[in-house]
Every structure is written in structure tokens, then in C-alpha cells.
Structure 1
Amino acid sequence: MDIVSSTVAAPAHRTGSAIVTVIGPDDEPLANRDVTIEQISHAFGFGNLGFDFVEHGTAGAEPWLRLFNQATLPFYWGTFEPRPGETRAARLHQVASWLVEQRVRVKGHPLVWHTLQPDWLMEVGGDEEVERRLRAHVRETVAGFADVIHLWDAINEAVIMPVFANGDNAITPLAAARGREYLIRLAFEEARAANPTATLVINDFDLSSDYERVIEEAIEDGVAIDAIGLQTHMHQGYRGEEQILSIVDRFARFGLPLQLTETTFLSGNLMPPEIEDLNDYQVDSWPTTPEGESRQADDIERHYRSLFGHPAVESITYWGFSDAGAWLGAPSGLVRADGSPKPSYDALDRLIRGEWWTAPTLVRTDDAGRVRIEGVAGSYRVAAGSAAAEFEFERGGDWSRTVVVRA
């Protein structure tokens, strides 16, 4: 029996093995036939923002699609519904549908947050009415996108939500009055009721023990958290594998999948270390530089290798594709403002589509129409002549199960 054996250097827990039996149109095994087997997507979530697709369309998306199989779309309430009843749902649904057609998993971000709230929400009345509107917003948003979005940041930055003074908004006072755990439960229960099959994430930049306690209390309170989001914006430099993995290990103790939801590295001057709130750093010009691009590529490769190597991590989302319109105006993209790829793009390409990718392989089936596969978990295609079929290849296989595909 021929073997499709990848030459990838992926960690063992990201790979699997199986026997694939190829069945022809006559329901008989395609014995002693040449077939091609190729990987078409990763099981691991390699994510990036899809904001530009909403604002500028999907033309020229090929470099983005080559690397990423997960997209985060903006659902900030203030921009989603700038006036009561007037939403961007139609445009967002259009983009989400297109992404799904491209085999991209879509994440909505976020359902509940105290920042970027609509001003009109402060005029609807007291906490009771704000809560009613918030519940309806979560429920209606998730239900309205249930056909294309099954992954949501249910609540964002709950640790500081009741106390953070970021300007007038209606959610901080509600969180102060009701308590953060109350809003966490609200977010998860309303979203779950609207789409019982959705994956719901709690997400935060505060990776201290305070966040651990918030998660502990929510779980003890019966909140069904599906995954834990960890933000790692590194505008002040790479924190290093030891520090990042120590954080991952602390949150892995909950036994829930970990999503690195917001990751950035700079390819220009680093932000000064004394800056506490990244939003406070304002400069007239923040260009990318050759030295910075080299550093960014090295940092990204180290970061992705270490996290792909940790079994608790299920996805990494890089926060921005291009320097054009990047958050804070920082040179944090993987491509320059003119669209040309930086060394960091090439570094990720070598990993995602090189080391961690099972190359197309021509093999011959045995007398029973079978081939063996050993490779990276994900979606695969088997082709025999003009006929083709797809199947999911799971990690952790041990040659014992048979996947039947009809080509």
C-alpha cells in the first residue's frame, strides 16, 4: 500500500494518520489506480482581520487567502448600528458569505464590550432599558448570522469592564451596577440561545491572575465558555517564548481550547516601554524599516512555532494584514502599505504552506483501493482522473480508522 507521507516538521499533536479507501462511481473500490491526494486547508486556525474586505471589497485577496483560514469581522456595536435600527448587517453578511465560500471560518468580534458603543444607547433610559437593548442586540446579531458565523468573541475585556474610564458609554455603568459576571453570563446565554452550536469565546488583554479569577468565577457560576481568548499585542517588542508559553500554560489549566485572538509585531521603531495604554502613543509618522522588518519576521516565526507547538492552542489571529490603515498607525502589517510582502509574510508562508503543509502526492491504491496518509490535520482532496472528493483528516489518528471517499 502506497503511503502519502508528508515531509512536514509539524509537531506530532498537529498530525494524524489514516487509511483512505477510494470508492468509484460504481460503488466498487478503485483498485490499483493512481490518485492524487492534496491538503486544501488546516484544522488549526490561522487567522487575520477581515475588516478591509468589509470596507474595500475582496479584490486582490489571494495573498491573504493563501495564508489564512479564519477571519475576524468587526461587530463593534457603535459602528454596526450607528443609529437605532440602522445596521451594517447586510454588508457584513455579504462578506461573511464570501469568506465561507473561500473555506474561511468567520469570527464575529465582539458581542459585548464597553468600548465603541453607540452614543444613542446612553439616551434610552436607565440600566433596565440598556440591558434590554443589549440582550436584544446579542440575540438578534447572532441569530441573523447563524448561517455563516459560528464563532464569536462573546465578551471582550471583562476584567476592566466595570471600572475602565474610556469616555461616556452605557455599558460601563451597567457592568458596575450588575457586576462583570452578570454581563458575562448575559453575553453567553443570549448568544447560546440564538445559536446553540456556536463557539463562544471570552477574550481579554489582561492576562494576569485577575483574568484567571474572572474565568474561574464564570465557570463556577455555570457559564458555558467554549474557548479562552488571549490578546498579545506586542508593540513594545516580543515577550519571548518563555513568557508567552508560561501564560499559555496558566490558562491551559482550565481544559478549554486557547485562542491567541489578537497578535501584533512591529516592523519599525518599537513603542517606548513606559507606555501603559497602547492607545496613548501618538506619532506623526511610524514607518516600516529594513531592520524592523527583519526583526518582525524573526519574532513572528518564533511566536508561531512556539504556539503551534502547544497542544492547548487552537488558533492564532494576527491583527492586521497591511500597514495601510493598521491599528494605531503602527507598521504592524505583514505587507507594506503598497501591498508588497514583508519578510514576515514570507516567514509565515514557509511555515503554513511549507513546513506545516502536506504537499500534493500521486500514489497508487492497493488491491482494495486503499492508501495510507500521514500528515497535518485539515481538509484534504483525493482525485482520480476527473473525479474528486474531499474529507477531513483529524489529528491523533493511529492507522485504525478508514475514511471512505467517493471519487
Structure 2
Amino acid sequence: MTPATSLDAVRSVEATLTVRRADGSPCADSDVTVEQVRHGFGFGNIGFDFVGLANEEQDGARENVFGGAEPEAAQRLEELWLDVFNTATLPFYWAGFEPEQGRPDTRRLQVTAEWFRDRGVTVKGHPLVWHTLAPDWLRAYSDEDVEQIVRARVRREAAGMAGLIDTWDAINEVVIMPVFANEPEQNAITRLCRSIGRIPTVRLAFEEARAANPAATLVLNDFNLSTAYECLVEGVLEAGVQVDAIGLQSHMHQGYWGEERTLEVLERFARYGLPLHWTETTLVSGDLMPPEIVDLNDHQVPEWPSTPEGEARQADDVVRHYRTLLGHPAVEAVTYWGITDRGAWLGAPAGLVRADGTPKPAYDALRGLVKEEWWLAPTPMRTDGEGRVRVRGWAGDYSVSVAGGSATWALRHDAPTPEVVLA
């Protein structure tokens, strides 16, 4: 074995597994095979592309309000997606989810969440409250009515998806929420947040979601990683709002931040003692966006192709980025924002798969980390006289098999002496 790296020291777990036969006797002095079947860490990507496929729709059968791939294209992406990722983010952008008041697109997303669950994937919802893509029909209501409608929306989604979706970005991008001015007419949620304040707006999102699904993991999420977000986090926590994780975004269209900047961000937000979810991240495989662009949305180009040079850079950047993030003990999940270039945000070549469905070097590099370097392949071992075997690997789900039976078990930091009974 190679000496443990700092990342191994953070992520690896060592446990003594006791293997018993169906009658309870130890499986002593036996050859067994141990292998990993799932990571405990949240390796995420968006699941938008699979809404049509999961619902067995035909290509072009309905407007693609969630920005996903047509079902035929999604079918070609399915194996690539599932081979790397174990956590899917589904879109609950209110304007597309409920374009007509009282007619939410609940069933399609329930079916999609079930589709992922049946494939062993954990599902997250994004977001419950956000000023961008608030429905136009909400503008007609007073601030008091808007608050009640928002509360009801949060309860409806959190309760209706409970058991299928138990992790939510409860509220998104609150730092700019009350001052957001990128629309001709102010959206109703910005208006509400300006009226009641940021912290009360955060409180209503978290409290309603918590009441609707007490088991949910609720994330406070933002792209603004300045001291303004730190002030918001501090204010929210001082106000007694129960936040389960802090969400951090990094769409790196202007180039990889580098290890130093990324670690600086992680350290600043880890000091609150909460898990960190790197909720959105992208790295482009074409020309970089000019550095003078402040709002990424302002960069509009007719074409933004992936290039061989850019793909090589993206692959290197992906490896460096993921190593840095997973090397920090506070990070529990990382979500890459898009499997494919087709339909990518801002038209950027930020996917891990080209628009024609072929994997880029970045896909292969990330898979090499997730399913090879950070993965325990089937490994022959031998139990001692008490049926015990020492196992070291990354936290997650494992199987152990021996002639005559097998069993699954979880390798966790808080369970150093697991036991299994062969079936």
C-alpha cells in the first residue's frame, strides 16, 4: 500500500468486519471477497436531462421547461451518468414548475425522482425559494399574500416529495435577493424579501420546509461567497434558524480558481461548524470567458465550442478541483452542473460529455477518481478464526461474499466494528 495522503486520511475508514453464517456462527478462516457498491460521499450532477426519459415521453412530445435532453438523447447519457454519480439534483424552478397557478408539474418530477431512486441514486430538490424564475402570476399579489403563497409552496413541495426528495436547497442566492434588478418589473419574491428582510425570508423557507418534512436536510445556498454571505450565515444562525448545510457555488467559466482560493473559501465557511455542500460547479472545455465580465450572464456569444486544448485543460482542472474539495473534511457533497454540453447553462462547453454524446477527457478523469482511485474493487481477503476481517476504504456501502452467501454493509466512521449475516 502507498502511504496515506491527506485526502486518504480525511476520507478513508478502517473497520473490523465480522462475518457470520445464517446460523449465527462465525465464518472462520474463510476466503471472502469485499467490494464497494456505493460511495457515502455525495457525487452529484443535475438530473434535468432525464425528466422526459423517466416519464416515457417521446422526443418533442412536450415543451422542455426543465432544460433537459430529449428522451432519446437522455437514454444515451444514462449509463455515463449512473457510472459516476450517486446524487441527482432535480429542478423545482417555480416559473416552469407552476406556470399557471394551481397547476404544478408535481407528478413528472415525482416520477423522475422514483426513476433515480430505483437506480440507487439520492435525489435533491433545487430550489424551494428563489427570486429568479419566480412565476409572473405571483406579481399580482400583495406582499402579505405573496408570503402566504410562498409558505404554502414550500410546504407543498417538501411534504409532497418526502421520502423521495429529502434534501433541498431551501432558499437560493439570498445575498442579492432584495436588490435583484435584472428584470423590467420586479419579481414578487425580491419584493417580499425587500419588505420583510433577508433573515425573515430565510426563516420562512426553512421553518416551512422543516415542518413539512422534519427528516429533510435543508441547505442555505449562494453563489456570492464574499463576506456578505458570511454575514448572512452568521445572522441566520444567530436568529436561531436551523441550517443543515451551507451551499457554495462555483461556475468557473473564467477559469479554475486554483487550490489556494478554493481552500480559502472552504476555511471561511467551515468555521460555522456545518457541513459544506459544493452545490454547483462547472469548468469549461473551450475558450475562457473574459476576466472583465462581472455577471456571467452578460457573456453572450453565438457559439462557444469545446476545443482539444480546452478539453485537456478541463480534465486537469476537474481532477485538481475534486481533490481539493474532497481533501477538506467539512465537504459532504459536490454537484457538477451538467453531464453534457447540449443545453448547458449560457451555452458554455462545461459538460463532461460533448454535445454528440461522447465523453470528454474530463469525464474519464472524474470517473477514474470516483470509481477507481477512490473505490475498493472486488478484493480477496481471509477471515480469522472469529470470522473477522480488516477492511479499509472510503465510507459507503459494501458487499462481502463467500461460498454459500453474501451480505451488504456500511463502512462508516462511526461504526468501527460492523457485523453481517450471510444470506
TM-score of Structure 1 vs Structure 2, range by shorter chain = over 0.9
Equivalence map 1:20-59=2 (5 Å): 20-55=17-52, 56-57=70-71, 59=75
* CA deviations over 1:124-181 (Å, ceiling 9, x no partner): x201111111000000100000011110000000001011112231101000001011
Aligned pair count? Answer: 400
For residue 402 of structure 1, report the CA deviation from its aligned partner.
Answer: 3.6
Q: Aligned match of 1:362 in 370, 380, 387?
A: 380
Q: Separation in 1 of the partners of 2:412 and 2:338? A: 29
For residue 80 of structure 1, report the CA deviation from its aligned partner.
Answer: 1.0
Equivalence map 1:187-266=2 (5 Å): 187-266=205-284
Equivalence map 1:7-406=2 (5 Å): 10-55=7-52, 56-57=70-71, 59-60=75-76, 61-123=78-140, 125-167=141-183, 168=185, 169-385=187-403, 387-395=405-413, 401-406=417-422
Q: Separation in 1 of the partners of 2:418 and 2:111? A: 38
* CA deviations over 1:318-348 (Å, ceiling 9, x no partner): 1100001111111000010111110101110
Q: Separation in 2 of the partners of 1:277 and 1:396? A: 43
Runs of 4+, deviation exceeding 4 Å: 5-10
Supply the AA of the counterpart residue of 1:22: V
* CA RMSD across the alignment: 1.6
For residue 396 of structure 1, report the CA deviation from its aligned partner.
Answer: 6.8
For residue 7 of structure 1, report the CA deviation from its aligned partner.
Answer: 9.3
Q: Separation in 2 of the partners of 1:396 and 1:237? A: 38
* CA deviations over 1:33-65 (Å, ceiling 9, x no partner): 322211011111111110001144462311111
Three-state SS of the structure 2 residue aligned to 1:67 is coil
Three-state SS of the structure 2 residue aligned to 1:276 is coil
Q: Unmatched 5+ residue regions in structure 1?
A: none
For residue 368 of structure 1, report the CA deviation from its aligned partner.
Answer: 1.8
Mean alpha-carbon deviation: is it higher for 245-254 or for 83-92? Answer: 83-92
The answer as to whether partners of 1:8 and 1:358 remain within 8 angstroms in 2 is: no
The answer as to whether partners of 1:38 and 1:381 remain within 8 angstroms in 2 is: yes
Q: Unmatched 5+ residue regions in structure 2?
A: 53-69
The answer as to whether partners of 1:376 and 1:395 remain within 8 angstroms in 2 is: no
Q: Separation in 2 of the partners of 1:405 and 1:69? A: 26
* CA deviations over 1:206-226 (Å, ceiling 9, x no partner): 000000000000000000000
* CA deviations over 1:257-291 (Å, ceiling 9, x no partner): 11111101000011111111111111111100000
The answer as to whether partners of 2:408 and 2:420 remain within 8 angstroms in 1 is: no
Q: Separation in 2 of the partners of 1:45 and 1:170? A: 33
Supply the AA of the counterpart residue of 2:100: R
Q: Separation in 1 of the partners of 2:36 and 2:387? A: 20
The answer as to whether partners of 1:36 and 1:361 remain within 8 angstroms in 2 is: yes
Three-state SS of the structure 2 residue aligned to 1:59 is helix
Three-state SS of the structure 2 residue aligned to 1:304 is helix
Supply the AA of the counterpart residue of 1:34: D
Supply the AA of the counterpart residue of 2:159: A
Q: Separation in 2 of the partners of 1:67 and 1:389? A: 23
Q: Separation in 2 of the partners of 1:7 and 1:344? A: 26
Q: Separation in 1 of the partners of 2:405 and 2:122? A: 26
Q: Separation in 2 of the partners of 1:234 and 1:94? A: 32
- TM-score, normalised to structure 2's length? 0.91
Q: Separation in 2 of the partners of 1:332 and 1:366? A: 50
Q: Percent identity?
A: 58
The answer as to whether partners of 1:6 and 1:359 remain within 8 angstroms in 2 is: no
Q: Separation in 2 of the partners of 1:388 and 1:50? A: 32
* CA deviations over 1:243-264 (Å, ceiling 9, x no partner): 1110110001000011111101
Mean alpha-carbon deviation: is it higher for 269-278 or for 49-58? Answer: 49-58
Three-state SS of the structure 1 residue aligned to 2:274 is coil
Q: 1:368 to 1:214 in 2, by over 3 A?
A: same
Three-state SS of the structure 2 residue aligned to 1:197 is coil
For residue 404 of structure 1, report the CA deviation from its aligned partner.
Answer: 3.1
The answer as to whether partners of 1:231 and 1:262 remain within 8 angstroms in 2 is: yes
Supply the AA of the counterpart residue of 2:228: D
The answer as to whether partners of 1:8 and 1:357 remain within 8 angstroms in 2 is: no
The answer as to whether partners of 2:22 and 2:421 remain within 8 angstroms in 1 is: no
